[in-house]
């Protein structure tokens, strides 16, 4: 496979303006002019699909940690319920069910992350170049990237809301 084909298959974008590729441990940096200066972040690209799986294991691992933290937050909230209010039982049951499902999801996601990480030494088999560069493979990856962006946008919005809530708590605690 020539370097251009390899770049098409393994290219990733960092900081919206730079592409990086690692070949045999050597980082190749390609800069793309966007009218703004981007921080350079040189990262070696995986040279095998197994290394790619292992590198991407961080996604389900982080989703696992987030799910577990969300479950913990719901369980701690349940302690604030006043069970003399007849609506408290329904909220408690709802939070209990959701927290349990989140804990199960966290366990499954961590198991997936561990499995993905274990494939780092998977040997690289031959790939059909035509199939690897086909439109449906590219479109599937483009959809994946789109979903990453959707998640990033959602998380950015939720983080802003949650930080505002934390600031309110801090202000209330200070008074």
**Per-residue pLDDT tens for 138-156?**
999 999 999 999 999 999 9
d(CA 48, CA 123): 7
Q: Is residue 90 predicted with pLDDT exceeding 80?
A: yes
Element (H, E) at 42: none
| 103 and 68 Cβ atoms separated by less than 8 Å | yes
Which three-class secondary structure state does DSSP give residue 13? Answer: strand
Question: In this prediction, what percent of the chain has a pLDDT beyond 70?
Answer: 74
d(CA 5, CA 24): 16
Confidence at residue 5, expressed as pLDDT on a 0 to 100 scale: 47
d(CA 42, CA 31): 11
pTM of the model: 0.72
Average pLDDT, the chain: 81
Q: Which residues, including other chains, have CB under 8 Å from residue 46's CB and lie 6 or more apart?
A: 10, 22, 52, 54, 55
At 132, the pLDDT band (50, 70, 90 cuts) reads confident
- Which range (32-36, 75-79, 125-129, 164-168) has the least confidence? 32-36
d(CA 98, CA 106): 12
Residue-wise pLDDT for 36-51, tens only, equals 444 444 455 667 888 8
d(CA 175, CA 172): 5
User: Tokens standing for 8?
Assistant: 């098409």
């Amino acid at each position: 496979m020539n370097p251009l084909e390899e770049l098409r298959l393994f290219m990733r974008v960092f900081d919206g303006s730079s592409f990086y590729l690692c070949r045999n441990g050597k980082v190749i940096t390609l800069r793309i002019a966007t009218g703004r200066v981007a921080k350079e972040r040189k990262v070696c690209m995986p040279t095998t699909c197994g290394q790619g799986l292992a590198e991407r294991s961080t996604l389900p691992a982080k989703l696992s940690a987030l799910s577990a933290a969300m479950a913990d937050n719901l369980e701690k909230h349940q302690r604030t319920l006043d069970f003399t209010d007849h609506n408290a039982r329904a909220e408690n049951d709802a939070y209990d069910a959701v927290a349990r499902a989140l804990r199960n999801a966290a366990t499954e996601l961590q198991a997936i992350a561990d499995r993905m990480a274990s494939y780092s030494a998977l040997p690289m088999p031959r790939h059909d170049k035509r199939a690897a560069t086909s439109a449906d493979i590219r479109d599937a990856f483009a959809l994946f990237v789109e979903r990453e962006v959707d998640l990033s946008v959602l998380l950015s919005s939720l983080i802003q809301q949650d930080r505002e809530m934390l600031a309110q708590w801090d202000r209330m605690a200070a008074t």
